[in-house]
Amino acid sequence: MGRARVVRQPWLLLWPLGSAPARRLRPVPEQPSFLRRAAVRAERTVHSSRMSSHCHTSAVLVVFMALAAGVGAEPLSEKSCDVVGDESTESQMEKALLKKLEPLSQIRFNTTVEIGTTENYAYHFRVCREVNSSLHDFAGLVQMDRQSGKTTVIGRINETQVFNGSDWIMLIYKGGDSYGRHCSGEKRRAVIMISCKRGITASSFSIISEEREKEQDCFYLFEMDSSVACPAEDSHLSTGSILLITFSALVTVYIVGGFLYQRLIVGAKGMEQFPHFAFWQDLGNLVATVSWIDLPQCTLWEKKDGCDFVCRSKPRNVPAAYRGVGDDQLGDESEERDDHLLPM
């Protein structure tokens, strides 16, 4: 028998490795386990890094959105009174009065008025602030019809006038809504009379009248009480008060300083600690004696109950420090003891 001949087909060697015949002919060997674990870890690391980058971007967006919301939520500063005319022509007196009214700017004032059955209005007022700041209409005093709900602006804070007297301040808002059939259709105006009342920040806001029967210069008149309209109280002391305060201070220094000197330096005790105690004691006795002698019109009780009782530091009738000699203690004397003195 002859040997079998093996025929090698070169086209099998050129077949793509990824094709099915190649896979059948040349199976891919299985990877080791440590390589598979490393590949899984690498894939997880890539996935987690992608997720962390997405989370970081989302967090940054959330922070920016919060900042934008915070900036948008910041309250805008409220508008204040603007005096009529250019800023360069505004007087310093008006600016000083507006600053004086600043404590009333945070208070809202309301009042109502009812005229018969046809007119029932509510008035809302603020000092140099808008009644409703969300409308941005500069309305400082507003009238509201309580039956129909219609709102009318009486005066605006961007057209303000202010002046004062000894114990009052007049605040005027111009530029309100136009009249219809009254006052030649001019714009409404509010006049607020602020009177002095000490001890009260603000009270008694009310409407006095509405002048609308004229051809022009119509106005609404209001009044209220406030301590901001009061003049500054004079704190000057009179000459007598100054002298009295000075005298009291000197007496206090004299007594306290003398007491400390007598006690700490001299070492006195009791009443001797009082400065110049002996001098004041003698002065009191002297005053008591003079008042006893020079006041004959006073009764004995008045003298005794007056300065003699208060000023004298020891009894008026001091007993003698010696004793007299009685007649019974004298011996018999000769009647001729002086005869030798007579002339012969």
CB 153 within 8 A of CB 142: yes
Say which residues have a Cβ less than 8 Å from residue 98's Cβ, sequence separation at least 6: 80, 81, 83, 128, 160, 162
Say which residues have a Cβ less than 8 Å from residue 178's Cβ, sequence separation at least 6: 185, 186, 187, 188
- Residue 65 banded pLDDT, cuts 50, 70, 90: low
Q: What is the pLDDT of residues 277-325, one digit of tens each?
A: 888 888 877 776 665 555 555 554 444 444 555 555 555 454 444 445 5
CA-to-CA distance for 197 and 314, rounded, in angstroms?
A: 59
Q: Print the SS3 string covering 239-295.
A: HHHHHHHHHHHHHHHHHHHHHHHHHHHHCCCHHHHCCCHHHHHHHHHHHHHHHHHHC
Nearest in space to 207 (alpha carbons), one of 226, 192, 195, 229: 192
Percentage above 90 pLDDT, the chain: 33
Mean pLDDT within 213-239? 87
Higher pLDDT, 78 or 32: 78
In the prediction, which pLDDT does 72 show?
Answer: 44
The backbone torsions φ and ψ at residue 18, rounded to the nearest 5 degrees and listed phi first, read: -80, -5
In the prediction, which pLDDT does 216 show?
Answer: 87
In the prediction, which pLDDT does 13 show?
Answer: 42
Residue 270 has pLDDT above 70, yes or no: yes
Mean model confidence pLDDT for the chain = 75
CB 234 within 8 A of CB 109: no
Q: Which residue has the tokens 């002298």?
A: 243
Higher pLDDT, 234 or 76: 234
Higher pLDDT, 242 or 117: 242
Q: What is the pLDDT of residues 7-57, one digit of tens each?
A: 444 444 444 444 444 444 455 455 555 556 656 565 665 555 555 555 555
Higher pLDDT, 300 or 335: 335
CATH number for the 87-229 domain, one of 2.60.40.1890, 2.70.130.10, 2.40.128.50, 1.20.140.10? 2.70.130.10
Higher pLDDT, 120 or 4: 120
Q: What is the pLDDT of residues 160-191, one digit of tens each?
A: 999 999 999 999 999 999 998 888 889 999 99
